[in-house]
Amino acid sequence: MGLRDLIRRSSLPPPSIRGEDDLFDDEFQRKLEYLALVSRRVFGGRLRAERRTKKSGSGIEFADHRDYVPGDDFRYLDWNIYQRLGRLLLRLYEEEEDLSIYVILDMSSSMGFGRNKKVLYAKRMAAALAYIGLANLDRVTLVTTTDHVMDRMPATRGKQRIFKVFQFLRSVHPDGTTDLGQALKAFVSQHKRRGLAILLSDLYDPEGFEAGINVLRYNKFEPFVLHLLDAQDGKPPVRGDVRVYDCETGEEREVTVTSRVLEKYREAYEKYVDDVRLFCTAKQVAYVPADIHVPFDDMVLRVLRRGGMVG
Amino acid sequence: MHLTGLPLATLIQIAAGLGALVLVSYILKLKRRPVAVPFSKLWERILRDKEATSLFSQLKRIFSLLLQLALLALLLFALGDPRTAAAVLEGRNLVILVDTSASMKATDGMPTRMDAAREEVRKIIRGMGGSDRALVAAMDATVTPLSTMTSDLPSLEGAASSLQASDARADFPRALRFAIDSLRDQTKPEIVVISDGRLGNPADAWGAVSSRTSSSPTSRSAHAAATPPSASSPCAAIPSTSPATR
């Protein structure tokens, strides 16, 4: 651990200064209730026990036929087909199950950059989405990551558990480097039950943002990327001869910042955001750019409309 | 080439101090201000394009240092006030001996001879060049220097104002000896005697007073009376042509 890390850790302000005292105040909780109601109205009829999965099993909704192979349950044989066609076919039904929602919160140092604005916003978003999930009786799990899985709140259900979520979110603080690829590999190995994986991150991953999203895709999770964007990141208030250092890795670069350089930086930043969006679109991954200056409840509604999160 | 401003030793000291200051500020400037960024990879992309211009930016820094040092050198050059040998005019060194004997209390002047003498002294002081220096001394039974050998006009004017006639007779030979001693080894020495003319010969028990140095002071006298010296006094202005004291 370098001296800079040590100073950063020791200079971490107390919760009152970090703005976390009133992170989940009464006003916030009222908004959550409203959001849960809205989500129910918007996605009415697609609630618990009606969510169909690709998995066929023991539901009541007929899905398909397949050939009988020795060992199959006789009870699912379609005797009518056998009578008409003389073939042994098995009836397949859609498995109905409650959805597992994984809220994956990036807790690397870059999320705390700029007076913790991104991380506070992300925590509120995570709490809101978790509440909507809990209210819909989905199984909600919260996970925080850096270059590994940091903390985990085990799967829980029912909206009365929201205070546990608040408690969990209050206890985590941004610290560490980002490696979504490694962290999410660990995550998928720990969570065998597939489901919706909502990734809240600024995606400042030196190894490339694609790795983490791909891990979720390849392991049959349904990734949902909430890309936290702070406009300030694209317009750093820097001028003159400076030595820029990465707040996570401490990597240093000497640069003379002129208005031309700032313009180039802005272009590079916009291109980076664009690359993320294009990648998600190409891979059919639900993607919502979350500007932290948009009120979080508006953003939650946007997310619900965009992704059919609870549907 | 001569330095008529600050002497070379002083200039070298100032140059060393300021030069060190410029170099230290240059080195401190080289030590760039650290700025935290959320994602340095974005800067890396820009810097890749900027590599080509980094040589220019380094040259720019060196040029800026050289320019600062050049400006410093010019400033010091100006402080040195260099002049060509021909352009340098050496200043005179004057000893103004003012007779403050009892006869100077006579009221045939404006209103006294002493007042006339003070006015003469002031005229001489005002007529001094930039590099001239003078010393005002009161001459009665003793010789009392009222200022140092200086080019500072206010202090010389103050010395002129403080001249007071006494009740003693003037000891001219002693005053001359004092003046000659004061001007020993000085460039362009000059003795000005301001008196009502009742001084007698510049000789005493030790003999006639004369300069024994190579750069003998020239002397002239001014008459302190209100009326023209030829009319009122046998001691008129003495022409200052001879190297010896007259």
Q: Which domains can be identified in chain A, with CATH numbers?
A: 13-47+98-307 (3.40.50.410), 52-96 (no CATH)
pLDDT at A129: 87
Rg of chain A, C-alpha, whole Å: 23
Q: What confidence score (pLDDT) does residue B89 get?
A: 66
- Nearest C-alpha of chain B: how many angstroms from A282? 23
A49 pLDDT higher than 50: no
| Cβ contact, residue pair A236, B37, below 8 Å | yes
Whether residues B152 and B206 fall in one domain: yes
Across chain A, mean pLDDT equals 81
More reliable by pLDDT, A214 or B227:
A214
Asked if the structure places residue B237 within a domain, the reply is no
Residues of chain B neighbouring A245 (CB-CB closer than 8 A):
34-37, 40
B191 burial type by CB count under 10 A (0-12 exposed, 13-18 middle, 19+ buried): buried
Nearest-by-Cβ selection for A238 from B35, B41, B47: B35
Q: How far is CA A163 from CA A22, A98, A130, A139, A265, in A?
A: 14, 21, 11, 15, 41
Residues of chain A with pLDDT > 70: what percent? 82
Which pair of tokens denotes residue A241?
């001869």
Q: Could you list the residue range(s) of the whole structural domain that residue B15 is in? A: 2-85
Q: What pairing do the DSSP bridges indicate for beta strands B33-37 and A240-246?
A: parallel
Q: Which of B55, B85, B115 is the last residue of a domain?
A: B85
How confident is the model at residue A192, as a pLDDT? 86
Interface of B to A at Cβ within 8 Å reads 29, 32-47, 49-50, 57
Q: What is the C-alpha to C-alpha distance for residues A46 and A103, in angstroms, rounded to an integer? A: 20
Mean pLDDT of A29-36: 78
The answer to whether the CB atoms of A243 and B35 lie below 8 A apart is yes
How far the first Cα of chain A sits from its last, in Å, is 45
Q: Which amino acid is at A163?
A: F
Identity (one letter) of the amino acid at B162?
S
- Nearest chain A alpha carbon to B38: A110
pLDDT band for A181, please (50, 70, 90 cuts): very high
Whether residues B188 and B97 fall in one domain: yes
Q: Which chain B residue's Cα is nearest to A4?
A: B36
pLDDT over 70, % of chain B:
76
Residue of B nearest to A244 (CA): B35
The pLDDT confidence band at residue B136, using thresholds 50, 70 and 90, is: very high
What is the least distance, in Å, from the CA of A2 to any CA of chain B? 15
Instruction: Report the residue from A244, A261, A272 with minimal CB separation from B40.
Output: A244
In this model, does residue B5 exceed pLDDT 80?
Answer: no
Q: Could you tell me if B81 and B101 lie in one domain?
A: no
Are B52 and B144 found together in one domain? no
The token pair at A183 is 């962290």
Q: What is the pLDDT of residue A12?
A: 45
Q: Kindly tell me if the per-residue pLDDT of A16 is higher than 70.
A: no
Inter-chain touch A253–B47, beta carbons under 8 Å: yes
Which chain B residues have a beta carbon less than 8 Å from that of A114? 38
- pLDDT, position A311: 38
Q: Mean per-residue pLDDT for B152-158?
A: 91
Tell which wins on pLDDT, B153 or B87. B153
Q: Distance (Å, rounded) from C-alpha A249 to C-alpha B217? A: 84
Task: Please give the Cα distance from A39 to A159 (Å, whole number).
Answer: 14
Q: Is residue B240 part of a domain?
A: no
User: Which of chain A's residues have a Cβ under 8 Å away from the Cβ of B35?
Assistant: 236, 238, 242-245
Mean pLDDT value of segment A115-138: 87
Question: Cβ distance B136 to B121 under 8 Å?
Answer: yes
CA B45 vs CA A19, A212, A226, B97: distances in Å: 34, 22, 25, 85
In a shared domain, residues B158 and B41? no
The pLDDT of residue B93 is above 50: yes
Q: Is the pLDDT of residue A34 over 80?
A: no
Q: Are residues B111 and B190 in the same domain?
A: yes
Higher model confidence: residue A201 or residue B109?
A201
Mean pLDDT of the B155-175 span: 89
Q: What is the pTM of this model?
A: 0.57
Q: Are A137 and A98 in contact (CB under 8 A)?
A: yes
> CATH code at B176?
3.40.50.410
Could you tell me which residues are beta bridge partners of residue B133?
B93
User: Given an 8 Å threshold on Cβ–Cβ distance, is B42 in contact with A113?
Assistant: no
Question: How confident is the model at residue B185, as a pLDDT?
Answer: 84
Band of pLDDT at residue B74, cut at 50, 70 and 90: very high
Residues of B in contact with A242 (CB under 8 A): 32-35
pLDDT value, residue B223: 57
pLDDT at A142 over 80: yes
Higher pLDDT, A71 or B231: A71
pLDDT at B235: 35
In this predicted structure, what is the pLDDT of residue B226? 38
- In whole angstroms, give the CA distance from residue A238 to residue A213: 32
Confidence of residue A52 (pLDDT cuts 50, 70, 90): very low
Classify residue B146: in a domain, yes or no. Answer: yes
- The answer on pLDDT for A86 being more than 80 is yes
The distance of B72 to chain A (nearest Cα, Å) reads 24
Q: How confident is the model at residue A299 (pLDDT cuts 50, 70, 90)?
A: confident
CA distance A49 to A66: 25
- When pLDDT is cut at 50, 70 and 90, the band that residue B236 belongs to is very low
The token pair that represents A262 in the structure block? 């700032």
Q: Is A122 exposed, middle or buried (0-12, 13-18, 19+ CB in 10 A)?
A: buried
**Within 10 A of B238 (CB to CB), how many other CB atoms are there?**
15
B57: closest CA of chain A, how far (Å) = 9
Q: The tokens 């005292």 sit on which residue?
A: A21
> What mean pLDDT do residues B160-181 have?
89
ipTM: 0.72
User: Would you list the DSSP string of A67-95?
Assistant: E--TTS-GGGB-HHHHHHH---EEEEEEE
Residue in the structure block whose two tokens are 């006015």: B119
Q: Per-residue pLDDT averaged across A81-98, rounded?
A: 82
Question: How far away is chain A from the Cα of B14, in angstroms, using its nearest Cα?
Answer: 30
Buried b (16+ CB within 10 A) or exposed e, B86-117: eeeeebbbbbbbbbbbebbebeebeebbbbbb
* DSSP letters spanning B121-134: HHHHHHT--TT-EE
Q: In this model, does residue A102 exceed pLDDT 50?
A: yes
Contact criterion met (CB below 8 Å) for A94 and A57: yes
**Six token digits for residue A271:** 């291109």
Indicate the helix (H) or strand (E) that contains B69. Answer: helix B40-80
| Whether A147 contacts A179, CB under 8 Å | yes
Q: Which one is predicted more confidently, B11 or A183?
A: A183
- Mean pLDDT is lowest, of A9-23, A73-87, A118-132, B177-191, for A9-23
CB pairs under 8 A between A and B: 75
Q: Is residue B180 part of a domain?
A: yes
Confidence of residue A183 (pLDDT cuts 50, 70, 90): very high
Residue A63 pLDDT more than 60? Answer: yes
Handedness of CA A270, A273, A279, A280 (dihedral sign): negative
Judgement on whether residues B65 and B121 belong to the same structural domain of the protein? no
| Among candidates B40, B46, B47 on the partner chain, residue whose Cβ is nearest the Cβ of A246 | B40
Q: Please determine, for residue B32, whether its predicted confidence score (pLDDT) is greater than 90.
A: no
Q: Is the pLDDT of residue A265 over 60?
A: yes
Tally of domains within chain B:
2
Are B104 and B78 in the same domain? no
**Residue B242: inside a domain:** no
Using pLDDT thresholds of 50, 70 and 90, give the confidence band for residue B245. Answer: very low
Candidate ranges A166-170, A234-238, A253-257; pick with highest mean pLDDT: A166-170
Residues A268, B32: C-beta atoms closer than 8 Å: no
Instruction: Using an 8 Å CB-CB cutoff, list chain A residues near B27.
Output: none
Pick from A36-50, B33-47, B220-234 the range whose average pLDDT is largest.
B33-47
Chain A residues within 8 A of B64 when measuring between CB atoms = none
Q: Is residue B29 part of a domain?
A: yes
| Cβ within 8 Å, pair B37-A246 | yes
Res. B233 pLDDT band, cuts 50 70 90: very low
**pLDDT for residue A162 is more than 50:** yes
Range of lowest pLDDT (A19-28, A207-216, B178-187): A19-28
Residues B27 and B72 in one domain: yes
Chain A residues within an 8 Å CB radius of B32: 241-243, 254
Tell me which chain A residues have a C-beta less than 8 angstroms from the C-beta of B45: 268
Residue B57, pLDDT > 90, answer no
Give a yes or no: residue B123 inside a domain: yes
Which residues in chain B are contacts of A249 at CB distance < 8 A?
A: 40
Last residue of a domain, one of B59, B85, B111: B85
Cα B101 from Cα B114, distance rounded (Å): 9
B61 plus B163 within the same structural domain: no
- A148 pLDDT exceeds 50? yes
Amino acid A301: pLDDT: 80
Same domain, B35 and B18: yes
- Mean pLDDT, rounded, of chain B: 78
Q: Is residue B216 part of a domain?
A: yes
Chain A: closest CA distance from residue B61 (Å):
11
Per-residue pLDDT, B210 = 66
Residue A199 pLDDT > 70: yes
pLDDT of residue A80: 92
Minimal-distance CA residue of chain A relative to B37: A246
∠ CA B150-B151-B157 to the nearest 5 degrees?
A: 90
Tell me: do B115 and B222 sit in the same domain: yes
- Last residue in a domain, options B62, B85, B108: B85
Ordered DSSP codes for A95-150: EE-PPEEEEEEE-SGGGGTTTTHHHHHHHHHHHHHHHHHHHTT-EEEEEEESSSEE
